[in-house]
Structure 1
Amino acid sequence: MKLLRYGPTGQEKPGCLDDEGRVRDLSGHVADIVGDVLLPDSMTRLKDLDVATLPLVDGTPQDDLRLGPCVGGTGKFVCIGLNYADHAAESGLDVPPEPVIFNKWTSAIIGPDDDVVIPRGSKKTDWEVELGIVIGKGGAYIDEAKAMDHIAGFCVINDVSEREFQIERAGTWDKGKGCDTFGPTGPWLVTPDEVGDYNALGMWLEVDGTRHQNGSTATMVFKVPHLVSYCSQFMSFQPGDIISTGTPPGVGMGLTPQTYLKGGETMRLGIDGLGVQTQKVRTAQ
């Protein structure tokens, strides 16, 4: 099942995608794609619905029908750094012995096609296509063997990053990762049964039609179940929390010469089976 949220910013309604790529309204069954709706029993009830009988929503998704972030009410937006060996190499860094954890503030979360805004004072705003994990059943100290039981689904994330803020301005990475609009999420939350082999998903990102990232989740150093289990040793998860799992090579920082967003560009990115995002880039006023 592909769950989504549609409508104006802050007024999104719950929906799903039918077999013909049209949006069907879920408001008669759930108030939003949030919280307890993501628990296994609730997700099973949604998957048992006859999607073809649900009300059809006017408009074409990601055209004249805006999609919001595919999950609402996210409490934690946890990210993993240097989780692709080839990306670590282009960054001039060793593969870490354990996952590197940092955070994006939840105020960074936007819809998959909303504008990305370069913050004031930015010199090095960059892009990163990433596989996102959406937590369904929460918990702490999750057994790796049972980690998949805690996942409601997967989605596309653009881990937009300001490299000077992140690396050159002292302190943690967080200040360069959580600026407003730095977390496009969606277009839909795809349940694990539809994703297939999450360890072999092609992923890519283009800026103004030039492809910079062209990788696969197959080269992740720390795999999905391990990341869920590992992170849960340091925090408890709640439904709707997101883990962004790292990026393959081809980020602007790794190019020769280094290339960063200035405003006016269009980013387009996607992951096999999880959909495509498109963001226009503009500068903060």
Structure 2
Amino acid sequence: MTTTYTHPVPEVTAIPIVDQPSLHFPIRRIYCVGRNYAEHAREMGSDPDREPPFFFSKPRDAAVHCPAQIPYALATHNLHYEIELVVAMGKSVQCINVRDAPSCIYGLAVGVDLTRRDLQAVAKEKSRPWDCSKGFDWSAPMSSIQPLDQCSSDLKEIIQGNTANKETSIWLDVNGERKQFGKLSDMTWSIPEIISILSQQFRLEPGDVIFTGTPSGVGPLQIGDVIEGGVDGLTTRLEVSIVESV
């Protein structure tokens, strides 16, 4: 029997692979880690030394490949940027231990967790879910994905959880002005720990991406702003222009 549908099947959301324009990484799910840098946790009024990691999600089609023009989000007057290292999963895993977690990574990218901060504040005040403040259209712009074997040796060490003496930085500029800067070694929870803990809650599959948290310095965006961001050890970069909603 031939299957028919009530409406056109949604397009696959896919991110290109660095230096391989015909090869794409189809997105299955988008997971995000909240408050994974101590200074950002303090910036948001939390205690980074006592809080275990927590996760939230964005819809698959919130991902958009950069460079891109993204409309200023609907229903907000306080749209914020949050630069993040993005981990792209390449294997199916469940309840994986910390030691083995890095073996299931396909590659890395740079992403921005766009946030409707005013909606988030209301949700916090009323003890409601964050969904509307995080999971809206075009809220997860990403650079191309760089396979892990093409990343720098220092970045590979950090992915393994070895952060001692590593100065690998993550940064974001708005209109050429540095707004966020941090060290990946300052993460409260390492990449292997994030994957291991998340895999206790969900079966992770190829196509899943994990936004791993943002350093301090988050702030508002305006129409006309240009965001640029990167991570040491990645050749791929992020560029987003905020345009007027239509």
Output the TM-score relative to the length of structure 2.
0.83
Alignment identity in percent? 29
> Which ranges in structure 2 are unaligned for 5 or more consecutive residues?
1-10, 159-165
Distance in 2 (alpha carbons) for counterparts of 1:216 and 1:117: 30
| Residues 11 and 172 of structure 1, relative CA distance in 2, 3 Å threshold | closer
> Which ranges in structure 1 are unaligned for 5 or more consecutive residues?
1-8, 18-23, 27-31, 34-70, 253-259
Q: 2:71 aligns with which of 107, 117, 122?
A: 117
Q: 1:151 aligns with which of 75, 86, 105?
A: 105
Alpha-carbon shift at residue 10 of structure 1 (Å): 6.9
Q: Whose strand fraction is larger, Structure 1's or Structure 2's?
A: 2
Mapped contact 2:224–2:241 kept (Cα < 8 A):
yes
Q: Supply the AA of the counterpart residue of 1:269.
A: G
Alpha-carbon shift at residue 174 of structure 1 (Å): 2.4
| Residues 145 and 251 of structure 1, relative CA distance in 2, 3 Å threshold | same
Distance in 2 (alpha carbons) for counterparts of 1:146 and 1:240: 19
Distance in 1 (alpha carbons) for counterparts of 2:35 and 2:133: 15
Alpha-carbon shift at residue 207 of structure 1 (Å): 0.8
1:86 correspondence with 2:35 = no
Q: Supply the AA of the counterpart residue of 2:245.
A: A
Mapped contact 2:88–2:145 kept (Cα < 8 A):
no
1:135 correspondence with 2:92 = no
1:212 correspondence with 2:179 = yes
Mapped contact 2:227–2:240 kept (Cα < 8 A):
yes
Question: Structure 1 stretches (4+) deviating beyond 2 angstroms?
Answer: 9-16, 187-190, 192-201
Distance in 2 (alpha carbons) for counterparts of 1:139 and 1:184: 25
User: Aligned pairs, how many?
Assistant: 221
Distance in 2 (alpha carbons) for counterparts of 1:181 and 1:132: 16
Q: 1:278 aligns with which of 236, 239, 246?
A: 239
Distance in 2 (alpha carbons) for counterparts of 1:280 and 1:247: 20
Output the TM-score relative to the length of structure 1.
0.72
- Match of 1:145, SS state, is coil
Mapped contact 2:17–2:145 kept (Cα < 8 A):
no
Distance in 1 (alpha carbons) for counterparts of 2:13 and 2:96: 34
